[in-house]
Chain A
């Protein structure tokens, strides 16, 4: 059992609670930095993929996890970021300029799209963003001179400070690039949650009416949340485009939007950890399935069979189990386990019990 004894006000705003926690994260950071030296190229690629998904997850987490606005259309912003980045690169801009600009452009477009969406909430917002995600496919095809349409585009190799970075040629450099972006975004996110803006996001999520009563400007806060969320998602999209190498209108389909939302739900809504844990699940599930399929195939003695749609089916099942039994996701489960150890003999089952309410309609006559 650990008791943190606070001796200064600084301890309240520090991102870590105690030195032990800080040291754990530093070890994780060191391990992640050293990963290219420990892993072979294949697993390094997978890890890069997981980090990119984690950035995208953080983007959606700002909006859904912390501001409470469910979006089923974030693949549209992934696409925007990806295309903006590549188009800027093709105009001859250096990567270090094009990449943040891509994020900025996506963020601004996100706000423009969000302004009408600010009046909606709940399912209506989810449906509007879903429609947007479906539309994005057609918009990319229609704006062919800019986006290459159905034929798609190829990501050129980029160079950062004179170092050539290419997904296939120099996977290590690419990993470090993605890792650097991940660290910057994560630190920014942690800081955001400590700032008045982050607090107002959470206030809006928990109750719009009460937040308004506390002097939070709802529309402005939501717009800000959309901006940050879309900007981060745009960065992830840019990296995703570089990682994939080639992409067209179907790369960022509605299914990606839905997967992204499911990912952060499995990971744990309302926590940065959740974005990472969800990304690990989504990144390694295909590997895990193909390995287990081979294993089962060997056990039965037959050849492995290709089952189309297996991944999304299994993913759906996992999600159902989580929504029913652990609505707070993997991170929520981990919190419970950790609390059990920290409070060892005193943990009680009801400590994390959520308050349930009876349904009362919002449709009033």
Chain B
């Protein structure tokens, strides 16, 4: 019974990691770049929602604030693409990585300026309620996190696999020039992807802030989400979620069954092991590079 409780809380944490990892994968799938600021965008989304909802800020009703902050973060993503990422067209992957790391620093700084450095919790209608299920006590938030994440991953997966726009996004990442020739508006597609990533980050942020407190340094959670994305292999949406769940599950079990001090190492050690054994992740798509 105890273990089951650990599994549920681990799954809920893992879903947040998975959602951040989903953002990585979205952007990687469509632009072949990695957004190191995804964790910080998650933090920003959480703070935007807190700013709109909490009584000591604007005090809007929760269900009004959520769509507004989703829209704001989508706009933020599109704006980032317009102002920064689009200028990096044709530059190396490493420069994009460095750009997004710097962006993460700036976002963290600005969030600290606006909302302060105290940890804050999102006031939400689900807080404090729980579901009793046999002998099991589940926080309603935990259940909501898991449900929302699974639904989101599923719909994004279907979006990429089934819709015309999703296919266009994949095409744009696989060969930009050819995509142009086929009449795909590559730039607009890229902007859309960044908007989508902003929205996913916002969902992750809302769930994260509802479960626990968020502060400007919460963005560093992104490092754990890397673990998730790496395990998933960076190219696959369900892989990212699976990776997130694995990392989320390992954490509580490690802290319970492994000596203190060793337990927090587990997720990072797992990344290294995965990278050593399968340098391109478990769900890898990479073959030998051609010239």
Chain A interface, number of residues (Cβ within 8 angstroms): 56
B91-99, B119-127, B136-144, B149-157: which lies at the A interface?
B91-99
Contact across chains for A123 and B102 when beta carbons are under 8 A apart: no
Rounded to whole Å, the gap between the CB of B118 and the closest CB of chain A is 12
Q: Which residues of A contact B173 (CB under 8 A)?
A: 359, 361
Rounded to whole Å, the gap between the CB of B107 and the closest CB of chain A is 8
Contact across chains for A120 and B279 when beta carbons are under 8 A apart: yes
Contact across chains for B105 and A138 when beta carbons are under 8 A apart: no
Check: A19 CB closer than 8 A to any chain B CB: no
Rounded to whole Å, the gap between the CB of A291 and the closest CB of chain B is 19
Contact across chains for A324 and B84 when beta carbons are under 8 A apart: yes
Check: A190 CB closer than 8 A to any chain B CB: no
Contact across chains for A309 and B275 when beta carbons are under 8 A apart: no
Check: A79 CB closer than 8 A to any chain B CB: no
Contact across chains for A309 and B216 when beta carbons are under 8 A apart: yes
Contact across chains for B262 and A142 when beta carbons are under 8 A apart: yes
Q: Which residues of B contact A70 (CB under 8 A)?
A: 94, 97
Contact across chains for B230 and A127 when beta carbons are under 8 A apart: yes
Separation of A1 and B63 alpha carbons in the complex (Å): 69
Q: Which residues of B contact A127 (CB under 8 A)?
A: 226, 230, 271, 275
Contact across chains for B261 and A138 when beta carbons are under 8 A apart: yes
Check: B64 CB closer than 8 A to any chain A CB: no
Give residues of chain B (223-273) contacting chain A, Cβ–Cβ below 8 Å.
223, 226-227, 230, 234-235, 261-262, 264-265, 268-269, 271-272
Would you call the interface of chain B mostly helix, strand, loop, or mixed?
helix
Q: Which residues of A contact B227 (CB under 8 A)?
A: 131
Contact across chains for A124 and B280 when beta carbons are under 8 A apart: yes
0 or 1 for each of B74-96: is its CB under 8 Å from A? (1 = yes): 00000000001001111101110
Check: B110 CB closer than 8 A to any chain A CB: yes
Q: Which residues of A contact B109 (CB under 8 A)?
A: 309-310, 312-314, 316
Given contacts A127-B226, A138-B261, A361-B175, are A316 and B102 in contact (CB under 8 A)?
yes
Q: Which residues of B contact A262 (CB under 8 A)?
A: 98, 101-102
Contact across chains for A135 and B269 when beta carbons are under 8 A apart: yes
Q: Which residues of B contact A361 (CB under 8 A)?
A: 32, 173-175
Check: B106 CB closer than 8 A to any chain A CB: yes
Contact across chains for B289 and A362 when beta carbons are under 8 A apart: yes
Check: A365 CB closer than 8 A to any chain B CB: yes
Check: B192 CB closer than 8 A to any chain A CB: no
Q: Which of A64, A116, A210 contacts B291 (CB 8 A)?
A: A210
Rounded to whole Å, the gap between the CB of A305 and the closest CB of chain B is 11
Rounded to whole Å, the gap between the CB of B109 and the closest CB of chain A is 3
Separation of A363 and B25 alpha carbons in the complex (Å): 13
Most chain B beta-carbon neighbours within 10 Å: one of A139, A261, A320? A320
Q: Which of A119, A142, A208, A363 contacts B235 (CB 8 A)?
A: A363
Check: A52 CB closer than 8 A to any chain B CB: no
Contact across chains for B102 and A323 when beta carbons are under 8 A apart: yes
Give residues of chain B (18-50) contacting chain A, Cβ–Cβ below 8 Å.
31-32, 34
Q: List 17 A-B contacts (CB under 8 A).
A: A68-B94, A70-B97, A117-B275, A127-B230, A128-B271, A131-B268, A135-B265, A138-B261, A139-B265, A141-B261, A312-B109, A316-B101, A316-B104, A317-B106, A320-B106, A324-B84, A360-B177
